[in-house]
Amino acid sequence: EETALWSAVDTYFEPLIAPDQLLFDALRRADEAGLPQIQVSAAQGKLLQLLVQLAGAQRVLEIGTLAGYSTIWLARALPPDGHLLSCELDPHHAAVAVENLAAAGLADRVEVRVGAAADTLQSVIESGAEPFDLVFIDADKPSNPVYLERSLQLTRPGSVIILDNAVRSGAVADQTSTDPNVLGVRAFVDLVRADPRLSATAIQTVGSKGYDGFILIRVNG
């Protein structure tokens, strides 16, 4: 079957990607706590880590923490004085994430804020916080357009925005779809297309997580 082959290729590349024991521990804790296994793959996590490094990001915003698996990949790429703010609605998810981040030695640079991410972002905007250099959007998909609009108020020219789950087994191309998750991606894409400040691409992916993809954006100014 296709997905078995995709998973075999992910397994082949795992020594290249080199997730360490702390990342496996984080997944085990998430599983034991009954959290859904819907985090990014190791390959995607490593991509996030590389993007933080390539962008020289010192301030990272994550929308959708779950157990902090992607958070660990992102935060590890930060300099010691870097900062990551991660937004999570579910207090149980956030508690598991805080435990995982502490075990990974990242508690000093990561804050997990519990609440609806749209509200958290609004309060960060109102607090006049420094802009974020990189934003990873991976929460409730119908809110993607709101997350983009708020992220644009929290970034600067040169910042990077990544949207996960942008392909959804190809459903994103179905103009007749009424799936709220698909509509959330399509509305996000419409906003990006309409904004001349944004330069973007969409990359389809296959792997242990099936057929999906991500959108990568640079805020140009």
Chain residues in the site for ligand SAM (CB under 6 A): 38-40, 64-66, 69-70, 87-90, 93, 116-117, 138-140, 143
User: Among residues 52 and 158, whose Cβ is nearest to ligand SAM?
Assistant: 52
Residue nearest to ligand SAM (CB): 39
User: Among residues 20 and 90, whose Cβ is nearest to ligand SAM?
Assistant: 90
The CB-of-150 to ligand SAM minimum distance in angstroms stands at 11
User: Among residues 40 and 182, whose Cβ is nearest to ligand SAM?
Assistant: 40
Buried b vs exposed e over 158-168: b needs ≥16 C-beta within 10 Å?
A: ebbbbbbbbbb
DSSP characters for 57-110? -SEEEEE--TTSHHHHHHHHTS-TT-EEEEEES-HHHHHHHHHHHHHTT-TTTE
The CB-of-127 to ligand SAM minimum distance in angstroms stands at 18
User: Among residues 87 and 98, whose Cβ is nearest to ligand SAM?
Assistant: 87
User: Among residues 84 and 219, whose Cβ is nearest to ligand SAM?
Assistant: 84
E-strand ranges in 126-197 read: 134-137, 160-163
d(CA 12, CA 61): 31
d(CA 112, CA 129): 16
The CB-of-204 to ligand SAM minimum distance in angstroms stands at 18
Contact 67, 39 (CB under 8 A): yes
Which secondary-structure segment (H or E) carries 201? strand 198-207
User: Among residues 214 and 219, whose Cβ is nearest to ligand SAM?
Assistant: 214
Q: Can you say whether the dihedral through the CA atoms of 93, 70, 190, 56 is positive or negative?
A: positive
The CB-of-175 to ligand SAM minimum distance in angstroms stands at 25
The CB-of-26 to ligand SAM minimum distance in angstroms stands at 9
The CB-of-115 to ligand SAM minimum distance in angstroms stands at 7
φ/ψ of residue 135, rounded to 5: -125, 130
